[in-house]
DNA sequence: TTAAACATACATCCTTGTATGTATGTCAAT
DNA sequence: ATTGACATACATACAAGGATGTATGTTTAA
């Protein structure tokens, strides 16, 4: 059983990613060997090394895989709230948070990135990806805040860059704090209060 | 050079903790061997195993070491703001954040706990300590919020438990997001806006 | 036939835990 | 005040188990 067709090869690559995601989430990134991932996928380390350079590359691939659905989700919401920048920000944030709280795939990735991964030199690619993605979103959110100023939704003196940074801090914090003990409380009602209170506070800054 | 006096033994224990903190912060918890820690402290693994059961216990000891100064800082601020619960909450939060942004010791520990440690079974003691500590603080902050309701600072309908949880999420998020790329922006002005906007938002909930 | 898509085998390097060695502080007994 | 005995505070040595990367098979699609 070797030399599959290209589609089959892509399927095994996907299997490897799925297995890696499960095992990373259970045992942590640096505690899981490539052997564990391979056997969890019903394969051997040869398959892993064929599709990925090493563990760090595998982790990076995992991260990229989840970016697309989230971008799509955000893009979909972009259409509504065209004339309500602040409402758009709020609903996009809550939509992504809701996705994380409901979709296991999204939840596992978030869990890995926030609580099962050490950001050291070896994983710098993932850290960079994290920072860059945030940076890109940051520009969009900042533009939204500027639009909100233009619409009179928030004071003109609002430091929009800092306000946008704060929103992402809230996002990461809500997820991190929840993931440290998910059984203790549900994410969503808590995150909703958080985001709404923050945005409401910005209106009177 | 063996069999030091008790004070000297405590000093070497402290050296080991210092070294562990440095190396954990640089290379991540699970990527650092006990050998690295020992040599960084100018000792051998024998010393490490004498003072600590294993790496996880060493990490837990690191965490406990930082709890005391923070408790003291918070306790000191408790005296002021006796009749201004909301102001007390705000200033305590900002004081701890300021400590983290200025004090290297505090910053390193925070960095380790938030971005250089994988929360898997092996490190469950640290995770538990994190959750318990938050839980304890949570009770205090919740009581403050209740006091704030009594003083009319926030609406009586405010879900104080959730509001307190949100504050800790903000705290963790501000630190985490900053530590993912500390060079990009300074923690404090950003965190100040965050905390103040959130609390201001709570006043009109 | 060639090269893709893996599996298998091999060598190397670490790391951990423990076991043992060893020198010295501590303390009771004289 | 000495002197032993014992425990302390480490250093050193040892055994075992992985984990990684690479090299080499092996089968089959193209």
Domains in chain A with CATH codes = 1-52 (1.10.10.60), 55-204 (1.10.357.10)
SS3 A147: helix
Residue A162 and residue B200: Cβ atoms within 8 Å?
A: no
Is B47 near strand D, with its CB below 7 A from some atom of it?
yes
pLDDT of B70 over the 90 cut: no
Q: CA A149, C1' D8: Å apart?
A: 69
End-to-end CA distance of chain B: 65
- Of A10, A141, A162, A132, residue with least CA distance to A67: A132
Backbone angles phi, psi at B56, to 5 degrees: -60, -40
> With contact defined as beta carbons under 8 Å apart, do A66 and A96 qualify?
no
pLDDT of residue A186: 97
Model pTM score: 0.94
Best to test chain B binding among A29, A131, A165, A203 (most B CBs inside 10 Å):
A165
pLDDT of B152 over the 90 cut: yes
SS3 B84: coil
Is A119 near strand C, with its CB below 7 A from some atom of it?
no
pLDDT of A192 over the 90 cut: yes
In terms of Cβ atoms closer than 10 Å to its own Cβ (0-12, 13-18, 19+), residue B68 is exposed
**Tokens linked to A90:** 């709020």
Write out pLDDT tens, residues A12-63.
999 999 999 999 999 999 999 999 999 999 999 999 999 999 999 999 999 8
Residue B169 and residue A173: Cβ atoms within 8 Å?
A: yes
User: d(Cα B162, Cα A158) in Å, to the nearest integer?
Assistant: 27
- For residue B44, what are the contacts with CB-CB under 8 A and spacing of at least 6? B38
Q: Minimal Cα–Cα distance from B181 to chain A, Å?
A: 7
User: d(Cα B185, Cα B198) in Å, to the nearest integer?
Assistant: 20
């Amino acid at each position: 059983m070797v030399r599959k067709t290209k589609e089959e090869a892509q399927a095994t690559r996907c299997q490897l990613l799925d297995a890696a995601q499960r095992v990373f989430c259970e045992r942590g990134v640096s505690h899981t060997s490539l052997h564990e991932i391979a056997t969890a996928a019903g394969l051997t380390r040869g398959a892993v090394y064929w599709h990925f350079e090493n563990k760090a590359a595998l982790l990076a691939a995992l991260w990229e895989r989840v970016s697309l659905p989230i971008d799509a989700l955000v893009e979909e919401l972009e259409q509504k709230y065209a004339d309500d920048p602040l409402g758009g920000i709020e609903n996009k944030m809550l939509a992504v948070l809701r996705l994380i709280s409901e979709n296991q795939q999204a939840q596992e990735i978030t869990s890995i990135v926030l609580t099962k991964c050490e950001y050291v030199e070896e994983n710098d690619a993932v850290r960079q990806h994290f920072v860059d993605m945030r940076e890109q979103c940051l520009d969009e959110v900042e533009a939204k805040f500027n639009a909100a100023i233009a619409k009179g939704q928030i004071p003109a003196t609002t430091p929009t860059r800092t306000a946008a940074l704060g929103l992402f801090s809230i996002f990461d914090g809500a997820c991190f704090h929840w993931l440290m003990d998910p059984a203790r409380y549900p994410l969503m009602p808590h995150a909703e209060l958080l985001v709404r209170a923050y945005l409401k506070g910005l209106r009177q800054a």
